[in-house]
Structure 1
Amino acid sequence: MESEAPAGGDADTAGRRRTTAEVKRGLRELSAELTLLNRQVGGRLGLKDVDLDCLDLINAHGPLSPTALARRAGLHAATTTGVLDRLERAGWVVRERDPADRRASRVRALRERNAELLELFAGMDSRMDRICADFDEAELALIAAFLRRTAAAGQDATAELADG
C-alpha cells in the first residue's frame, strides 16, 4: 500500500523550495552590493579590491604570516607580496619579525588607520543597526548562526574549487 503525503505536503515542499531560492537570491544580491560598497571604499582609500580584502583579513585574523594570508585570501604568493607592498607603502600594515621564529615575518595592521575605514563604512553600519533593531535577540541569534554557517559553506566550497 502506498503511503499518502499529508495534505498540503506538495504545496509545503514547493513553498520551501521557493523560499530557499529567495534566500539564495538574496545572498547573491547582498554579495553584489557589498562588493560594490567595498569597491567604493577601496576607491576612496586608493586601494584595489584585493588590497582591501587582504587588509580585512589581516584586521580580522592578524598578525599573519604572508603565507597564511595568501592561503586565507586564496592568492598566489607573488600576488600576496604585491598586495603587502602596496598596503605597507600606503601605511596600512607593517611587516615585522615573528617573535616565535626570528627567520619568519608576519604582517600586522596599523590599528590607528581603522578610523578611516570605520568612517567610510559608517553609513552601512548605521543601516545595519536600524535593521537589527527590528528583530528580537532570539531572531538575531538565529540570523547570526545562519550567516556563520553560510560563511563556512562558502569556505568549504572555495577550498573544494582550490583543491580540484
Structure 2
Amino acid sequence: MAGTEDTRTRRRVTGELKRRFRDVNNQIALLSHHVSARVELRDIDLDCLDFLAQHGPASPSALARRVGVHPATMTGVVDRLEKGGWIQRERDADDRRAVVLSVRREAIGEVFRHYDGMNSQLDAVCDAYSPAELALISGFLERTADAGRRAVAEFSEGD
C-alpha cells in the first residue's frame, strides 16, 4: 500500500512541477517577446541571437538545426540580424567556403540590459537557497534542458 501512495504522490508532484515549468516558460516567453519588440527584433531572431551569445559562433546550418528552423527561414533570420548590426559573418578558418556567425559583443549588451530586472529577481530567489540546493537545482535544470534538446531533435527529425 505504501508503494501505491508513493507512486501517487510522485505522479502528483511531477505533474505540479511540469505545470510550474509551463508557467516559467510562459513568463520567459512573454519577457523575451517584450524585449524583442523593444530592440525591434522578431522573436525567432532574438532566440538565435541568444543562442549565439550563449554557445559561441556557429554556421547558419548548425544554428538552424540547433534552434529547429528550416534553413530557408534561417537565411532571413541571419540577413535581419546582420543588417541590424547584431551579428557578423566571417569565413570559417578551417573551410574558406563556409561561413560562421558570431555575435557583435558591442551590440548584444543592449539586449541583455533589458533582462536586468529579471536577473535581479532571480538573484533574490536564489538568495533563499543554500549553495548545495542551488547546485541541485542547477543540475536539474541542466538535465531538463538536455531533455528539451532531445525533444527538439526528435521533433525536427519528423519534418
Task: Give structure 2 stretches of 5+ with no counterpart.
Answer: none
CA distance in 2 between counterparts of 1:115 and 1:105 reads 24
Aligned positions of 1:23-38 closer than 5 A: 23-38=17-32
Letter in 2 for 1:87: L
Percent of aligned pairs with the same amino acid: 50
Aligned positions of 1:59-138 closer than 5 A: 59-138=53-132
Single out whichever of 86-95 and 12-21 deviates more from structure 2: 12-21
Q: Give the structure-2-normalised TM-score.
A: 0.95
Across the two proteins, how many residue pairs are aligned to each other?
Answer: 158
Task: Give structure 1 stretches of 5+ with no counterpart.
Answer: none
CA distance in 2 between counterparts of 1:63 and 1:13 reads 45
The aligned counterpart of 1:144 is 138
CA distance in 1 between counterparts of 2:60 and 2:78 reads 8
**Cα deviations by residue, 1:44-78 (Å, 9 ceiling, x for unpaired):** 00000000000011111221111111111111111
3-state SS, counterpart of residue 102 of structure 1: coil
Q: Give the structure-1-normalised TM-score.
A: 0.92
Give the superposed CA RMSD. Answer: 1.1
3-state SS, counterpart of residue 64 of structure 1: coil
**Pairwise CA distance, 1:28:** 0.6
3-state SS, counterpart of residue 101 of structure 1: coil
CA distance in 2 between counterparts of 1:132 and 1:63 reads 30
3-state SS, counterpart of residue 94 of structure 1: strand
CA distance in 1 between counterparts of 2:21 and 2:43 reads 20
Q: Which runs of 4+ in 1 moved over 4 A?
A: none
**Pairwise CA distance, 1:114:** 2.4
CA distance in 1 between counterparts of 2:112 and 2:70 reads 29
CA distance in 2 between counterparts of 1:99 and 1:68 reads 16
Structure whose CA Rg is larger = 1
